[in-house]
Amino acid sequence: MSLSLYDISIPVFIRGLNNLSAVLKKAEKYADEKGIPHSKLLEARLAPDMAALPFQIQTCSNTSKGAAVRVGGVEPTSMDDNESTFEELQTRIRKTIEILQGVDRKVFEGKEEKEVIFRAGGAEYKFTGKSFMLDYALPNFFFHDTAAYAILRHMGVPLGKLDYMGFKDGKV
């Protein structure tokens, strides 16, 4: 059995979002234990011209939902991108996971060569369903997922690779 577009995307996004949720929980706990205002972590960025932590999580959400819409043709679900607390970000992640869990794998069947047009920054990019997933959606998701991890690690949250990967007690 070969891997489908569904197999390489929806379960991967769900796992990544669950891991991101666990990283955020660890960050919130760290802030509470150290008496650090949540805003200090939430407003953090790695460079002055980089977006802060909430944007990274919002982009993971939007990228994963958008991939299901653009390739699978599922109905889009709009979110306001206005989360500013750990609780709001966790709610955003949970809602995104629920949306992705509701995606029927069949909507991806035969979509490998479907034309996908993506507009960003005033430009238009043309992909196939397969190239959109492999060359845009997955790399973009993990870029922002990694940025969120790196911001929190930079701010002193005791995170390691196993936190990012979602490995716990020898289990994947």
Q: How many CB atoms lie within 10 A of CB 168?
A: 10
Token duo for residue 92: 């955003």
- Residue 172's pLDDT is 62
Quick one: fold of 10-101+126-165? Answer: Four Helix Bundle (Hemerythrin (Met), subunit A) (1.20.120)
pLDDT(170) > 90: no
Q: What is the pTM of this model?
A: 0.95
pLDDT(171) > 90: no
Q: Which of 13, 12, 44 is nearest to 27 (CA)?
A: 44
The single-letter code of the amino acid at 74 is V
| pLDDT, tens only, 110-141 | 999 999 999 989 999 999 999 999 999 999 99
pLDDT category at 167 given cuts 50, 70, 90 is confident
Q: Where are the domains of the chain?
A: 10-101+126-165
Q: Give the C-alpha separation, 43 to 108, whole Å.
A: 37
